Amino acid sequence: MIFGIGLDLLDMARVERLFDKYGDRFVDHVLTAEENQQYQGARRKIHYLATRFSGKEAISKALGTGLRAPVTLHSISIISNEIGKPDLFFDLKLKQYLNENHVGSVFVSFSHEGSLLSAYAIAEASG
């Protein structure tokens, strides 16, 4: 059963402008420590930042909260596995929120064309 769905559309040029203006402050605002490690080795850094920002927006919409506690940019880590699949990791407060609201799994997928990036998230109800 579906708990919620979320969609986010982002122009990567916006992320590039924010990065140009704020540099590492923007990176630290968007990325968790684990994501930042992966970001350091990324070939397409703006694309990496954009997918994480947009993915977290889509997840927050699927959970019905928007980006507000306990669903924040730093409560969600989106880590690409060895074949590029985005795996999701949540901090303790968000895991507790998911359990309390009977959310079993959350999935995210990305697509891009030119400078446009879309992120789609599905939250699955448990039980």
* Nearest one of 74, 38, 33 to 56, comparing CA atoms: 74
Kindly report the pTM of this predicted structure.
Answer: 0.95
Cis bond before residue 70 (omega within 30° of 0): yes
> Given a cut of 90, is residue 38 above it in pLDDT?
yes
Model pLDDT, residue 2: 96
- Report how far residue 93's alpha carbon sits from residue 82's, in angstroms, rounded to the nearest whole number: 27
Please state, in angstroms and rounded to a whole number, the distance separating the CA atoms of residues 123 and 102.
10
Q: If you average pLDDT over residues 69-76, what whole number do you get?
A: 97
pLDDT digits (tens, 9 = 90+) for 79-119: 999 999 999 999 999 999 999 999 999 999 999 999 999 99
Looking at domain 2-125, its CATH class is: alpha beta
Q: What is the pLDDT of residue 64?
A: 96
